[in-house]
Structure 1
């Protein structure tokens, strides 16, 4: 019974072992054998990158079959996809000329089909592929790729391009830029949950931090990369991770540890036919042994490296790569020249048609312009006549209004003024005729005399304003000074300060000038009568659009919330609002009163 169980266990283990040895490429080959050609081609085009990299030899056979299928089915887009995959396989086989040839062929097909996005991806691969042959061209193609893909906002495609672009910067000894693009790519990989990409992203960051001599950080990143790749059974990724670890050891001058890791990577590269990686490991192992003065092993591994390198072939390959690039650029330029010639012929034909249309249109416009000009001149003549008549009427109306103003001011002066003067004279006479003991009557007569005198002063101010259609600021300022001089005679215990900062030429209308003057007059009279102030300050200033008058005193003030405003303050507000200005009255008990007037200059 025990022997039977052991037998079944051995059979199960053998079956499981061979099942595990069946690669994805073998499974794909078996799955598509009896399918229609179109379906076979579709399956090959969808062959995942991480799967065909794991088995280069068998994968190349399947993809070559896809090429034959695409050609027989005349499927150009699928053919371009196949060429792109073949370029990736050639890269792992270290066949640089084949790789470039395949990429350029893919780009031509994509561009002919108008597949801008796919062409952008291929340009990125082209730039990355020629990085060791022509760095300037590599950057040129990579930037072209980024520009084409960024315009589509496709994070899945731009992610590996950023990563490869960072590698170019690192090779160009620009570690800071490399770090920027690797980190930018890593953010996208995490967003997309791209585990395969994360392995590459962490490895690239490890290289960059190693270049910056930050070895501890570099080791953390490469350990993360190796862990991810081991979980995914990514043979190529595992091999590359050991190479990165070896690079870090070499940079730290830990040559024995570096040799162990390069050997691990080299063995895997040899097993899975990653010739470029095997060559790189042999070269670095040689350098490590040289650093350790172990010339015997250095010689042995250098022999392996030279066998893999084949310097003569490399020269031929580099020459062929350069030729392929020149052919590609020449073909593109020839195509652009042909398109430009075609466009030039179209443009010439369009110009001829446009010239004919322009001639016909110009003739029509000329006739229309002549007719329009005649009508316009006629209309302008009528308009000038109308404006002249209107100006004449306005001048006549203004002249009549001015005559009426003068007539009214003369009537006020001759009639009301003379009558008030007679009243004042009569009151003075009555004072002398009145009994000297009758003080009450004398006081009453004095009050009437003062009122009549004040009325005459106000009447004169009104006549002054009516006689003028405009009042200059200088005239206004003179009247204000005269007002202050009169106030000084009435209240000798109040000190007046006036400051004038007006420099520009300002002209008020008669109404505006009179209203501002009346507000000044009311403010000064109120202060004299009620404020018990010892000082009144007047400040006049201007800015670009307005003129500001500020009147403040150091009197007893009042509470605006509890004090009922009289007609005087209300009249002040009304007068300023009538001329489009603003007035601000602020007062506090025992802190005085401030009146601010802001009026537009115009």
Structure 2
């Protein structure tokens, strides 16, 4: 009886809610027919786009386009930003992620000019979700964090909590499961307090996922059931589909096959109803794996075909990797070794490409500079052709002048010849400048390729060798149970020195992989070094301060940035090793169009005239001289030491 009641309720819900949306749509169309002013018409088109999104995607795109066209025509920037936002949501729903990012960027530029901070935060959030779905986690956490800062500043608890939820999911994507679980438990507590059931459903699902990754099956099942109960009560189809999919996967891992198939099929039906291409691909691939295990290869192949097709359409790299992986296993079971090897190679290639996107991006930037120069050269050539044709036309016109005014003709020809020579000289000058620019770009291109090649060699060869040395030393220490204390101390010293060398190598690779180092990048690197120094140096209090008026987008060349970092590193190490300091402060200041990096300690100090300077201080001075910076060292006995690096601001 209760099943019949539930079926009746589902039928009634699916019948009533579309009817409700259609009534709203009809009322909005009546507003359009009443011929309102442009502002109201734009708002109505936007509302029609929103209500049509789950009924007819084509109609939704039509009304979104009408809102955009009228907004541009009437210079209604608020309407234009909203139209781009609505169209981006439609592309996101269809898993057309590159198109979604494109229109979100257009909306973002307008909302930034309008100082619409909440609108900007909303777009940052949406862009973060796109990058999360395409497994670009660095970009995902960047945009999610920017959105969270705005919502926290506005004291918007509901949206800030939702952003924390997204960031926790990114931690999960980076396999930091305990960190993700702690965040989701805190978020669930907030959602329960503010009685946000829709957000609470998502929290239960995320908590269950985190417990599953931590191999706590009992807690995972408990939270999946809580989530499904609340989602079914709220009739939240998106979350129901996700929970059914996840719970079905858990049942599959417990070998409860019939129940697993039941929940996965329920998820697939809902996702097809919602036209969720990403979700359909994910669930299809789960079912494919299950059918492979059961030996139902025909069902598995149809699931794989659908999952791979939709993941490629959605440009979802993580799902494509899963599809290639399962195809390889499918062909192993089918004893088709060639196809199995083919899909394993596709899997490996895609996996490698995900982690080399940054290198590809830098190469693409260099190529774009080169292409821009080529386009400029073509434009200059066309301009020269036009000028030449105009000159010829002027010559022909002058020949038609009457013989009776010969003196005027001669004067005119002389004037034209003078202009022609002047034009040619200008053209030759521009061609020379263009050739110089091309040579410079080609040189930069070669230098960048060489830097990337050297950094890869350092990382892959020297880094691996240093790691092997550490591993070998540790094997000697623990494998042979060495009792000679001097030998043990010596091995530990070599291991520690090697680890420090690896850290130095990573810093060098970091600088080599960048054309420029921003102040924000440099601050992050300094802060990380101070944190490590704080952990290893008991009894020393560190402080790191910067003036807020300095722009974080300020950039240094990679050579300048690395030398500044090395000087600061050496100054802090000297304070720790030789000064017996209890306080070390690092300050970044702006003073008279100059930037100062100041390292101060309260140690025992020294008299520069009475002490033989170490290689460290000499190296600091050489580094400062190399980047045209001033290095001032002030120290007094028992009054500490201050090291200042001063550079002019490049405006």
TM tier, shorter chain?
0.3 to 0.5
What TM-score do the two structures reach when normalised by structure 1? 0.47
Q: TM-score, normalised by structure 2?
A: 0.43
Q: Which is bigger in relative contact order (C-alpha 8 A, separation at least 6)?
A: 1
